[in-house]
Structure 1
Amino acid sequence: MDSSSITGNVHLTDAQRIDWLRLIRSDRVGPHTFRSLINHFGSARSALERLPDLARRGGADRPGRIYSEEDARAELAASRQIGVSLLAPGEAGYPPRLATLDDAPPLLGVRGAKDVLMRPMIAVVGSRNASGAGLKFAGTLARDLSDAGFVIASGLARGIDQAAHRASVAGGTLAVLAGGHDKIYPPEHEDLLMAIIASGGAISEMPLGHVPRARDFPRRNRLISGASLGVVVVEAAHRSGSLITARIAAEQGREVFAVPGSPLDPRAAGTNDLIKQGATLITEAADVIQAVEPIMGRPIELREPDDEAPPDFEPNASDRARITDLLGPTPLLLDDLIRMAGTSPAIVRTVLLELELAGRLERHGGGLVSLI
């Protein structure tokens, strides 16, 4: 039984780690779907056995590809060969705040000093095309926060990210990668990454060999903010990736900080807008520390694991038809769907799981779902 591994302090067996890797690497299984499958069937192995049937019930013409045990063993061995551990939420080295997210990676590739990654983190992000003043402030802020005991999290990008990492290498910094651990972007930061993992760490949810694409960076950004107590945006133009990180941070319940800039500099337009929208204005590390100290005083509560296998709810044809008919291209709140369907939440979630594995369902932020 490995249903407790989603939330509690755990250590997966080798067999469970292989099963988890097979499940998360299978077609149409993301973190949300993985969690639903584990909660529904009690273990990754049981879920793997049911994937084809679930996809068929959801209307798929053919079942999605299931990651083979041979491929999983090969990936695990290749990861270990370069010093990457594939960790589950709750295992030592998996950033504790990241583990509390609903869409936390079920297996996270972690490289470096695992004990450092268990410490409180502050994210520092900003423009790739940063100004000299922005780079200097990011470095000073990161160094001061590092001296105060925080691990600095960022995305290993050019500009602000690079300045924050370099200034905090000695105290420990976390590089969050958009690609696999062997596909570093930008390539010229490979030397910086080697320095980072000597006293800090790097994490990725992507498999080895995965070259980062444009759509991978917003997905990566949720890990930067999710691992942190708060996110500091130093410089950001309108519609920048850093503003996406700030928005995700707010959705995750993290603190959002912004450094004010000249209204004449487009690189400060996004940060100035964040302040107008309610982000905390900061001008020094003390501002950040003062804001997060009350949060650090509250323990992060993880749900108690359930040692009993959950009941196997099986919707009938009428349930499936009614729930599917209520869905459409316009996103609908899950709570509203349950109320309108007039059946149990477990039945609704099972039908949604079937549709998702058939490639017919899209999940949006805020508990919204829609048909594709």
Structure 2
Amino acid sequence: TVQYSVCGNSETHSVTMQNSNCWELNGNAQWITVGGQNCIQLTAEVNNQTGCSWDENVINFNNDFTLSLDYYFGNNFNGADGTTFTFQPNPGACGIAGGQLGAGGITNSLVVEFDTYDNDFPTHVVDISPDHIAVEVDGDLLNSTHLCGPIAALPSSASIDDGLIHSVNIDWNATTQVLSIFFDGNLRLSCNYDFITNVFGGDNTVYWGATAATGGLNNQQYFCPQTVTFLPAELISFTNECEEDVSYLKWTTASEDRVDYFELESTTNGFVFQTIGKVKAAGTSTELQNYSLPIEESNFKRYFRIKTVDIDGQEEISDLIAEQSCHSTKFIETYRFENNTLEFSNTNEFWHFELQTTAGQKVNFTEHFDGSMTELQTNQLAGGIYFLTIFNAQTNEKQMVRVYHSIR
């Protein structure tokens, strides 16, 4: 058994990695170059080989993620045996050859198999005739009870050891606990299961990678590392709250995976966003983390979002929340805005006003003040929402009020 690490060091290993990941290679696995791209050959066209390769960065099943690999299953329709996409706790692991696809015997494992050989024709207790996908657990790939599947890898049931490169995407939704397997862009299998509790022994972080094997028949089988997309933080709340007339943005994460910082952004129209603050993250955590940022209120109605950025620059953007007014006393409590006339109670001669559309366009008006009431007479306006900003020249306070114009 040959075991070594490759971390993109071209001088030591004559390999230049195309991404920042390091891979642990076990068994017969080795680096090869295919069309100028660095790929990992799991088995050659040789009988009774087993190859395994693990990304040295663990993956967190408490977070959503997407993994993408390009697989080559060989060019011999009568070859064997197939490959897997496996999650397990031991970076030095490599399993059994033949129909166990190099993943058999690896305990506490979640295995997505891509089987290119029908091992039990014609009974089909274990396999089905077409090259197929199934989800297995705990290192037993020759059992009669699959966790999910099997199903033909291609909708046409054609062979996948056809000399072509096939794309595989694995999507994990941590909230719904659904693992989705896409083959050549088609969703072929979904599997709903609590893998953390029932497979990984309560450990939410495991290694991931690929295995393959040959037996009495063979195929060259390799994969090319592509992309890993992590959602770096599990955001469970995001609010705008008031504390003694001070406005705060507050948020809580249930877990974080190598998060660098949070960037808070505001918008008035949902299209143009402005950064209003950055907060350093805890980094990596499986405990609740609470954050807050004091903000100044604006003259315009705003909406906020959080951009979560991890140490690799990967970003995740939250949904929008609306701004809350934190003024304890409203300048005006009631108003009437009908047919281009806005009226409200007012006994303060030092108040000045500005009326704007939701897009920030200024609305012209004439003002009438009789000591107890203010009337703003506008030109012809469409019905809908407008923003009235009130300035108090004595106290330098200002407040924006959302008003609705009705046409009767």
Give the structure-1-normalised TM-score.
0.22
Higher relative contact order (CA 8 A, sep 6+): 1
Q: Which has the larger radius of gyration?
A: 2
- TM-score between the two structures when normalised by the length of structure 2: 0.21
Between Structure 1 and Structure 2, the one with more helix by share is 1
